[in-house]
Amino acid sequence: MCKRRELASTGVRWDEPSRAVRGSRQTSFKDLYSVVHHGDTHELEFDFDALSDQEKEHLIMRAAPLSVAMKDFSAQLGSSAAGAAEFRLSKPARACDDFLSHAWSTRRLEKWYALAYTYNFNASVVAWLVAHLVGVVVCAALAPADRATIGRDYRLQCFVGAVLCPIVAQGAVLVYGLPGLTEPSVFLDKVCINQNHAGLKTLGIEGLETFLKYSRRMVLLYEPGTYKRLWCAFESALFSRYADVRNFVLVPCATARVAIVLTAVSHASVIFAIGALLAVVDARGWDPAEWFRGAESIDHFTLWGQVMGPVMAPLYAVMAWLLRNRCRDILSIERSLRTFRLQDTECFDPNDRTLVESRIVEMWGDQRRFDAFVQSTLAQQMAGTTGAADLAPWSVSLAFCLPWLALFTYPGLVQTAAKLSPWRFMASSLCSVGVVWPVAIMFWNFFAFKLYTEFEVKRGQPRTTIMLITIWSILNCLFTACADREIAHVISERPVAQCVVLLAAYYGACLGITHYFLNVQTRAVKGEMTWAAWAVMASFWVAMGLTFSTRPAAIGCEHATCIWPHPPLQ
């Protein structure tokens, strides 16, 4: 994390008379500062040439708490209209944490997704996990001594404590942030630049680099039309010219939407899946713990199909649509920069355009040089911050997988035959959902991108693309989940020493694959795959496929598939 610069008082004549206000008696800069930041400036006429550069910085430098930008699902980002009430939402500041750059044409909900994803999403995932683990421990401690007596009341208790309460905790943290932490300060043009006084507004626009200079990071809320907006292009170019590009945080609204909406849809799907699971196992007369045996027999495999099929179809249709939009938006970043032309940009206020273009000419010489800077320097710098179109951030994959942990811990809590000890179902489920499933999600993202480029980019068939991504997603996740559950179960039947070694090797291999894809292989937004990547992917799927047949079965093998010969049990 970089250390932010702070506004200094050097060069500021606080107590000396100032001639910056025309037509009035001389006042000190301290009084002028107070009037500008806290008083009414409508009737004042300024002579800013009478001020030093440092004094101008003190007059315009303001920041607002992050909650101003996020309140009521980013209501302040819905319209550019601003007045005295909006200006009072910010306060004088010596520095701010983040400079927020956004386009007014982007829907406010999309911008709220991006802000919540940037500032609160990871904390909300941790909050859910902690609340879920606490709920599981409490429910396990309250379990009846005779598990055969477990009925509807205990099932409902576990459902509320281990499923619903963690969802509420995650939602609260996502919307409001973690309580007790210092709230980040941000620059938001609408509330930090005085919109009521033409002179102060011009001073704020001309001094935009002041806000950038004293901001720790720049956070750009990106959607495909962002670099068609004059302000966004100008702010990005300014930051690229005067600051470290590593402190530039480009947040595609599509990625934020994928993370938040998929997490919410996953929670809803888990709730319905738990209801379907209880209904099916009760109808079969099975113990809920049989859910852990995805590939034990055809009956177990069909149990997964009966529970997950109705749940996964609508879920993965939503996923396919979101993934397709993310692929489109990520690919548009480089394209919009490489083809940028200042004359093609738009600006809501013609007066703002005149001011910005004059600043561009002043700083770059002419508009052609500015176009060349954006098309080459800025595009090259942004290439390392956009992420790969075929690989969502690991945190997003993990956040999507974690809600499904409840689908395994809940049957472990309400099992009536005590087939699995609490540590076994908790440890194996947490490792599977937190380690193995994100690997499958990476493969899923990669092939979803390939389907997008093949059927929509090349053939112009978006509906076919969504349908194929949906089918691929269901098969990928169902097969991986069943195979993984069986691997974990088979290993856990071994003696403790062997179990620990084998589980460490299994999960270590999955972590190694994740590390390779995220950190070793050089990736770009075009989804290139090396031969090594294909080899890693093939070895993973071969291991998963053999899981269905390497375990000896009774005469008349009951495996869902059988591709490996084995003798029957005697």
CB 391, CB 517: distance < 8 Å: yes
Q: What is the DSSP letter of 403?
A: G
Given a contact cutoff of 8 angstroms between Cβ atoms, the answer to whether 386 and 250 are in contact is yes
Which residue, chain included where needed, has tokens 């179960």? 489
Q: What is the arithmetic mean of pLDDT over 513-542?
A: 60
pLDDT for 105 beyond 60: yes
387 near 256, Cβ under 8 Å?
A: no
What average pLDDT does the chain have?
Answer: 81
Query: Binning pLDDT at 50, 70 and 90, where does residue 148 land?
Result: confident
Rounded mean pLDDT, 541-565: 49
pLDDT band at 332 (very low <50, low <70, confident <90, very high): confident
Q: According to DSSP H, which parts of 243-388 are helical? A: 253-284, 298-338, 350-364, 367-372, 379-382
What is the residue-wise DSSP string for 478-489? HHHHHHHHHHHH
Confidence of residue 570 (pLDDT cuts 50, 70, 90): very low
Per-residue tokens: 220: 């750009």
Query: pLDDT per residue over 200-223, tens digit each?
Result: 888 888 888 888 888 989 999 999
Q: CA of 408: how far to CAs of 163, 285, 429, in Å? A: 11, 19, 6
CB–CB of 190/139 below 8 Å?
no
Per-residue pLDDT band for 534 (boundaries 50, 70, 90) equals low
pLDDT by residue (tens digit) across 11-22?
777 887 777 776
pLDDT of residue 73: 92
Tell me how far apart the alpha carbons of residues 192 and 93 are, in angstroms, rounded to a whole number: 10
Residue 286 has pLDDT above 80, yes or no: yes
Q: Is 165 exposed, middle or buried (0-12, 13-18, 19+ CB in 10 A)?
A: middle
Tens digits of residue pLDDT in 40-80 = 676 677 777 778 888 888 889 999 999 999 999 999 998 88
**Residue 228 DSSP symbol:** G
Sequence-ordered list of residues with C-beta below 8 angstroms from that of 101, at least 6 positions apart, any chain: 218, 219, 220, 221, 231, 232, 235, 236
Q: Among candidates 58, 72, 103, 376, which has minimal Cα distance to 224? A: 103
How do strand 62-65 and strand 185-187 relate by DSSP bridges?
Answer: antiparallel
294 pLDDT band, cuts 50/70/90, is low
| Residue 316 burial by Cβ neighbours in a 10 Å radius (0-12, 13-18, 19+) | buried
pLDDT number for residue 171: 95
What's the token pair of residue 32?
Answer: 């002028």
Asked if the model's pLDDT at residue 554 lies above 80, the reply is no
Residue with tokens 């802000």: 115
What confidence tens digit (pLDDT) does each residue in 335-394 have? 888 899 998 998 877 777 888 888 888 889 888 999 999 998 888 877 666 666 667 777
CA distance 134 to 136: 5
Q: What is the average per-residue pLDDT within 517-524?
A: 59
Q: Residue 522 class from Cβ within 10 Å (0-12 exposed, 13-18 middle, 19+ buried)? A: exposed
Gap between the Cα atoms of 467 and 172, Å rounded: 34
At 420, the amino acid letter reads L
The secondary structure of residue 91, as a DSSP letter, is E
Evaluate if pTM is beyond 0.75: yes
Q: Would you say 294 and 486 are in contact if contact means Cβ atoms under 8 Å apart?
A: yes
In this prediction, residues 238-252 reach a mean pLDDT of 82
- Sort 6 into a burial class: Cβ within 10 Å, 0-12 / 13-18 / 19+: exposed
Q: How much is the average pLDDT of 239-257? A: 84
